[in-house]
């Protein structure tokens, strides 16, 4: 039994609290009242996923909606599930938190979602009525996850999330041909005519997450910004920072991602782009060039006004953190966060958007306090706060999600895609996953790649 599965067993023994208004731990579907089978991407153990034929979902609650999935994707945070970094996964759990589709069935209490229409789902599951939902802070819904372990670790619970372990409610995900959407009227946004799935899909997470990272960290006109991580979240955070008036965007990552950003970066803002390859630099206490020294050099000796972390806490650079992660002495490395704190100017801002699970060692609290650095947990992005605004930007032509898409792939190949994405093979950055229900590819979509 893996650590992730053991943690799930502990939660089961402890028992959930009574805060959720929707069924918990429906991470797979049963064949009872058989509706046939479908293909789905399932977690099979640490570093193992498979596309399997599994039972299709059915209506369990009156507020449920069943979608025929027409598009999904793979997120960098899905790799934390693959690696077993996120706890409380069970063998056979269906993954995937970003998806769109066509309504196939609706529960008796559903009043807004209509059969046959296209919708995109938010990655979080919100009730629409609690303290946070009334403020559109949907990622912190108080009524859709009853996980006792999370409450004990964090001092509170996030919203339930699709395909992201029993730690966040245990909901089956959308890397499948069908998916059950609890509280469907709240968690689905209709896709209007003229907006293809290949653009609307990313309202589910990546666009809202990167937009939130920029606005929650606070980017002001004239700011110089460092973005740690040049994946899709970092890429779009850079685009949104330009929109907020930033005059310099510095990406910290390595190849092939830095080249992908450079090739796709808007020509009219080419003078604002800087790239730092961390693999060509030293780190820690040294007289050699580091990410921190390069940031100072590029920003007048002081450092950028703000830094945004779009990576995650599981990737150690040095042997000390690597060993502590392996031994379970910490769940997350503090190395990137320390580089941000040390790299920004005094009274600068550091926002954390990449996934951090629990606890870290060797955190530079001294620099944070002495230099007046603001450390901001951006949180899981409240998708409902932003997705209508971002949809309007897409409709107006002000926002083109296709700029971050590198591949179009098949549902049948999704397990192979996970491993290629993990290794960054074939320049894979962000994918669009089509199913047998997908509409014809829109203009600008990458050609279909088969594996």
429, pLDDT greater than 80: yes
Predicted confidence at residue 148, as pLDDT, reads: 87
pLDDT digits (tens, 9 = 90+) for 68-83: 999 999 999 999 999 9
pLDDT at 10: 61
Q: Give 67's strand partners.
A: 103, 179
Query: Distance between CA 425 and CA 384 in Å, rounded?
Result: 33
What pLDDT score was predicted for residue 5? Answer: 61
Torsion of the alpha carbons at 158, 163, 164 and 168, rounded to the nearest 10: 30
Residue 408: which residues within 8 A CB-CB, separation 6 or more?
431, 432, 434, 441, 445, 446, 447, 448, 449
Phi, psi (degrees; rounded to nearest 5) at 283: -155, 165
pLDDT of residue 34: 74
Instruction: Give, in degrees to the nearest 5, the angle at Cα 234 between 232 and 238.
Output: 115
Percentage of residues in the chain with pLDDT exceeding 70? 96
Q: Report pTM.
A: 0.95
pLDDT (tens digit per residue) in 238-266: 999 999 999 999 999 999 999 999 999 99
pLDDT at 32 over 70: no
In sign, the C-alpha dihedral spanning 166, 167, 169, 173 is negative
Structure tokens at 184: 């469907």
pLDDT band at residue 285 under the 50/70/90 scheme? confident
Q: What does the pLDDT look like over 92-112, one tens digit per residue?
A: 999 999 999 999 999 999 999
Give me the sign of the Cα torsion angle 140, 146, 149, 155: positive
Sheet holding 273-277: strands in order across? Answer: 273-277, 248-253, 224-228, 306-309, 349-352, 374-377
Give the SS3 label for residue 443.
coil
Find out whether 334 and 361 touch, Cβ atoms under 8 Å: yes
Q: Check whether the bond before 256 is cis (ω within 30° of 0).
A: yes
pLDDT band, very low/low/confident/very high, at 125 (cuts 50, 70, 90):
very high
pLDDT digits (tens, 9 = 90+) for 356-393: 999 999 999 999 999 999 999 999 999 999 999 999 99
Residue 11 has a pLDDT of 65
CA atoms of 412 and 354, how far apart (whole Å): 28
Please give the pLDDT value at position 266: 96
Which burial class, exposed, middle or buried, applies to 52 when counting CB atoms under 10 A from its CB (0-12, 13-18, 19+)? middle
- Going by C-alpha positions, the residue among 146, 147, 213, 148 that lies closest to residue 381 is 213
- In 3-state terms the chain splits into helix, strand, coil percentages (rounded to 5) of 35, 20, 45
Tokens of 291: 């990410």
Task: Report the pLDDT value the prediction gives residue 12, as an integer from 0 to 100.
Answer: 66
Instruction: Provide, rounded to the nearest whole percent, the portion of the chain with pLDDT above 90.
Output: 87
Of residues 242, 250, 236, the one with CA closest to residue 307: 250
């Amino acid at each position: 039994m893996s650590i992730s599965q053991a943690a799930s067993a502990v939660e089961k023994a402890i028992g959930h609290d009574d805060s959720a208004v929707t069924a918990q731990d429906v991470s797979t579907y049963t064949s009872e009242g058989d509706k046939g089978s479908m293909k789905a991407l399932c977690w099979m153990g640490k570093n193992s996923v498979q596309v399997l034929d599994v039972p299709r979902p059915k209506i369990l609650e009156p507020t449920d909606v069943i979608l025929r999935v027409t598009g999904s994707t793979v997120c960098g945070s899905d790799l934390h599930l693959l690696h077993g970094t996120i706890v409380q996964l069970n063998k056979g759990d269906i993954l995937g938190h970003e998806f769109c589709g066509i309504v196939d069935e609706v529960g008796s209490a559903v009043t807004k979602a209509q059969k046959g229409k296209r919708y995109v789902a938010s990655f979080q599951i919100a009730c629409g009525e609690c303290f946070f939902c009334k403020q559109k802070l949907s990622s912190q819904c108080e009524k859709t996850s009853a996980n006792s372990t999370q409450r004990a670790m964090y001092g509170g619970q996030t919203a339930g999330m699709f395909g992201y372990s029993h730690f966040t409610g245990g909901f089956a995900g959308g890397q499948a041909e069908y998916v059950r959407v609890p509280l469907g009227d709240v968690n689905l946004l209709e896709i209007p005519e003229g907006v293809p799935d290949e653009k609307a899909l990313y309202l589910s997470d990546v666009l809202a997450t990167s937009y939130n990272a920029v606005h929650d960290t606070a980017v002001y006109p004239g700011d110089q910004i460092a973005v740690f991580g040049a994946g899709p979240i970092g890429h779009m955070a850079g685009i949104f920072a330009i929109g907020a008036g930033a005059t310099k965007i510095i990406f910290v990552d390595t190849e092939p991602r830095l080249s992908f950003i450079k090739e796709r970066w808007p020509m009219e803002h080419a003078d604002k782009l800087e790239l730092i390859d961390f693999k060509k630099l030293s780190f820690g206490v040294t007289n050699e060039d580091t990410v921190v020294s390069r940031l100072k050099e590029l920003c007048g000796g002081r450092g950028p006004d703000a830094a945004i972390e779009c990576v995650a806490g599981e990737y150690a650079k040095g042997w000390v953190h690597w060993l502590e992660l392996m031994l379970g002495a910490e769940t997350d490395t503090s190395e990137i966060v320390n580089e941000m704190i040390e790299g920004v100017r005094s009274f600068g801002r550091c926002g954390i958007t990449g996934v951090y699970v629990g606890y870290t060692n060797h955190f530079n609290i001294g620099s944070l306090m002495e230099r007046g650095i603001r450390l901001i947990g951006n949180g899981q992005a409240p998708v409902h706060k932003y997705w209508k605004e971002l949809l309007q930007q897409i409709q107006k032509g002000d926002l083109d999600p296709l700029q971050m898409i590198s591949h179009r792939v098949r549902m049948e190949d999704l397990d192979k895609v996970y491993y290629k994405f993990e290794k960054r093979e074939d320049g894979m950055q962000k994918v669009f996953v089509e199913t047998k229900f997908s509409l014809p590819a829109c203009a600008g979509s990458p050609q279909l790649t088969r594996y």
